[in-house]
Structure 1
Amino acid sequence: MKYCLSLLLLFSSLCLASTEPVVFGVHSNTAPLEWRKNGVDQGFNIELLKRIGQLTGHTIHPRRKSFQQLVRDVQNPDSDIDVICVVSPVAISREAQQSDPIYATHAKAYTLQGKSFINNWQDLAGKRVAIKVGSFVDVYLRGHPQNFIRIDVDLYETGFKMLLQKRVDVVLAENFVARRLQPLYPSVRSASDPLIYGAFNFVSNDKNAALMAEINKALRQLKLSGEYDLLVNKWFGTGREKVDLTSTHEQVMWGSVLIATLAAIGLVFTFSISRRLHKRTLDLDNELEQRRLAERRISQLSRQFQSVLDGLPHGVFLFDRRQECLWSNGKNQAMLESGALLDNLGLHFQLAPLLRMVLNTQKGQVQELHHGQRYWQLQIHPIGQEQAVVMLEDTTAQHKLRQANEQASRLASLGELSAGIAHEINNPTGLIVHAIALFSEAMQDLKPAIEQYREQDPFWLIAGLDPDRALRELDNGSHTIEEGARRIARIVDDLKQYARPVHQASHQKLSLNEVIQVSLRLTANQVKRFAVQTTLAESDPRICGDAQQLQQVMINLIQNACHAMSSDCGVLRLETGQDHQGAYIKVRDNGCGMDQETVQRIKEPFFTTRRHVGGTGLGLSVCSRIINEHNGRWLVDSVPDEGTTMTLYFPEEKHA
């Protein structure tokens, strides 16, 4: 019934539509899309467009040109090409007329064997990357500039050739074409997950808008009728790789002839010497089995040794005297080869002279190096007279820990001075408060005199202002100064409480609402860029604990939430309350969130996702210790790209 309906629609379309031919620009030699067999163009795109031509009443004439020429032609209303098939990036349209999506594809990074895996666009920074001009990768990059060196090529195959010549480091290629080319270039491998998703579309110029509308209508009709699915299964079906059948037949034929010849020769030779070699064959089988057993043992040991080397967290390299890298486990190789490492004197580290010295003296060497905010330890040990092993270890965490210990020592000394500093700040603050109070009372007493003087001199001004306005400004200013002075005194008092030495016996009843309020005052500079919403329980939950330590926990959680949010739309929510599990504090943000692997590790000492900006990974581990000391529970609920909720539960102290 479905096919009868399709025939009726086809017949009515042929009767109503024009017979004007459509020239289809063909550029690909890649099965299963477009290629030529015995001088006849065929493939998924060509068969699909011919079927659309039957539905619309158009005769389809394939015309083969280069890809760049077709891209130029389709933008020229006077060209002899009406429509071509190209790939467009997802969510990015080309300027020309486009059909509905035909088939999905993607582009990945391709490198030589042995090169590092590319996880994201940032891994391409500084690399030479081959881009096919006019391809959907090229279209995508026009709106998404990247930090790599772009090398334009006319074909993806040109990029693969330049990769073998080491004139480029990476080729960004479309999946179907790359799969076709890889058997011809066995040293090239796929080095990333899909970086760009795209879809095949029929494309034409604005002159052919009506033609494109007909194509879309016919394409949708094919999808509804199921014929489109049959075409997809025919050319892209699971386990079926469409190839150039002509060349395949020739290869199979010559292979068959060669195999048949060798089989005949082997049969004659085997028959003539079978008796003499029977005993020898048994001996060889026994020897071969022993060798296979030895090879399996050696292979197992080799895999185990390789697994150990690959599992090391730092880079391991084997160099010869000519500074040629004979082997490496791939860790930190880019940093070693970059030449960006600096020694303790600030000079660029040179591997060659140190390598020669180690081989000449046969004594190992250790050097401390750094680059930006990261620190490295390099070890070189000789292996014989001509080779040396080099180990490069990232020691940034250890260096940061030493810095944190030194900073903690300095802060301990600074804490001893905080009381004196607070006293020195409080004295002038008190003077300001008392002076402003006297100033406000004096202004009230002077108002009658000011009114009387203004009656005598109607044009009298105070500081260039009308007396009424001047009195309002002075009154507002005195209130502002008094409020600011009292805020300074309140912050200094909070800071004194926060810096007071911690003692185990200092636990006492305290208000969770007050902990929130003090923590917000101490982090006012960080949270001022965000919208802050506080929901404090009217019952004022109370627990037994140390206010200073809990303020330290809250300050850490508030600062982490601020780091996770964008300043233009960040919302920080703080809440206190009680439920059947006890008194609680909740800190919510709408920041970047965390995956489950990160959530499981945030309480570990020295684990941090912000090491590149100086994070040490100690803040949340200290928070975990403090919460445990208060017999509390810490729950974390986080969703990537949506936000995080930190909930702290404590045993509630009943009101007296």
Structure 2
Amino acid sequence: MKIFVNLVCSLCLCCLAFFAQAETPLQQHSIVFGVHSKTAPLEWRNNGVDQGFNLELMDRIGQLTNKRIVIRRKTFQQLLTDVHDPYSPIDVIAVVSPITIDRALSQSDPIYATHAKAYTLQGKSFINGWADLVGKRVAIKKGAFVDVYISGKQQDFTRVDVDLYETGFQLLIKGEVDVVIAENFVARRLMPLYPSIRSSSDPLIYGAFNFVSNYNNAPLMAQINDALRQLKLSGEYDRLVNKWFGTGREKVDLNSAQKRMLSLAIFVSLLSAIGMLLTGYMSLSLRKRSKSLKIELAQRKKAEQAISKLSKQFQSVLDGIPHGVTLFNQDGECLWSNDNNNDLLSNPDFHYIDGQAFELKQALSDALTAQKSQITDMQIDNQYWQMQLHPIIDKQVVILLEQTTEQHRLRQANDEASRLASLGELSAGVAHEINNPTGIIIHSIAFISDALRDLSEASSQYQKQNPFWTIAGMAPDSAIDELDLSSQSINEGAERISRIVNDLKHYARPTLTNDYQPTCLNDVVEVSLRLTANQTKIFNVTTELMSPAPVVMGDAQQLHQVLINLIQNACHAIRQDADCYECNEHINITTTVEDNHICLIVTDQGVGMDRATLQRITEPFFTTRRSSGGTGLGLSVCSRIIKEHKADMQITSRLGKGTVIKIRFPLDY
């Protein structure tokens, strides 16, 4: 097996050596012409058959030089690489070279003149020169004569390299480039395939077709040039030009054309330089202007942000205030509102405090006519509001609504307090006047009591003498007893009047430090029940009094006042509850000792109180019975007296279940 492999390798090496030796004479009698059927200038392939000016011209050159023409097709970039390689099998390629720049290769005489122009989409502006390309995206075919021309020069546009002019046209349609700079003949062939593309400039670069080859093929290039000159002198060159380009049979003097084009190119370059200078100056001015505009724009944006932030803050403030704020025009149209209670303005029950109906349009008209701010008090149901109308510019009015129900009630309470204060001062004077006749009654009843004791014995003696004698229709003994009881009642009533007057005088005087005495709490309960007997007689009142009776340090009269007030409140609570009359126990009063405190507890089975009422029950002038004459001062005064006795009051209540009030006195008394 190893011998067989060695034999095959030896045969292969022999074949390679044979072909290597045979290639040299073939190369000496042929010209390898590199072309690209899709992109090489003046070359086409029709139904797989190679055609074109260069192919026919090369065939004639081959006949004149007695060499066979061999065609090799590669990409344009591969052809450029091969022609620079001295060992490449490609001998000659046809390319366009700028008329002002020679390629670093062996070149033939000019074959045909051409130029490159700018191509854009239909509707784009005309391009007058290189200066119009500043800032644009420009497609350039890599290695083409446009690439050779701009190499080493300043490029103020964005260059996009492409392998084919057709690739540049496709990018132009996609919007990925703005301009394509293409050789004229190739562009003319491609434009029918891309109808949305048009020529948009005069020639920007002039060039000429040449055959180029590596410098190692300089002798071959000399033969090609001799053949070209023979074809031009014989007129056959003109016939080929006319066949493929239809330009007539006249000769093209490329040397003179080259000079004219060079002059034109120099002129165009000068114009381009001037244009570039002007463009640079204008660009510098525009950059300065743009910079100042950017600064101004930034300042404006900053100011707008500040204004927007302030506007939002102002808006949030307006939306957050509890009062209604509404902006109207003269026709009554709402221009802006914070939607707080502004529906009142269209409510038919919303009226002036004096009862006059409120009309929005009339109020707006009056404010605009007077051009003065107006402040009025309004009412709806049991709520009170203050309405302010402020006329502003452009015949607009701002209406502010503020609820003043609490302020109104406070004013009423203040008026009531003033009236009660006046009544208190008057009562103090009346009390002084009442004390005089009360003193006379007490003094007189004491005299009558003493007289009755003396008359009792005389009555007994007189009755013996006159058995039918009566006093006021009654037996003398019964009459004397009834008179004695009446005098005691009159004395107790007078003393009660005196105590009440003294309490009233004491209440009217400024509060002074009290000299409290040991006071029996059970006695306070009994006295208070006697004083409220007329009110409690229709209720079932029970007591649970502790024994031995608890004693507290305090003022008995003030404690009477506290308990009497609590009993009266319990009676009022039960009167409001008709079903409670069926209960066996309406009011219960208890004295006891709990948790190191002496407690006085008043329990009723009345209507009870809700949480909101419980929170305000001891506030001055707060009452749920104002319509029936309540002043709201009872529990407020009781609370003050209890605090002065260093005690506290606990109130628990449930609607429909009743109320429990517990007064706790310190046990260390």
Which one has a bigger Cα radius of gyration? Answer: 2
TM-score tier by shorter-chain length is 0.3 to 0.5
TM-score by length of 1: 0.43
TM-score normalised per structure 2? 0.42
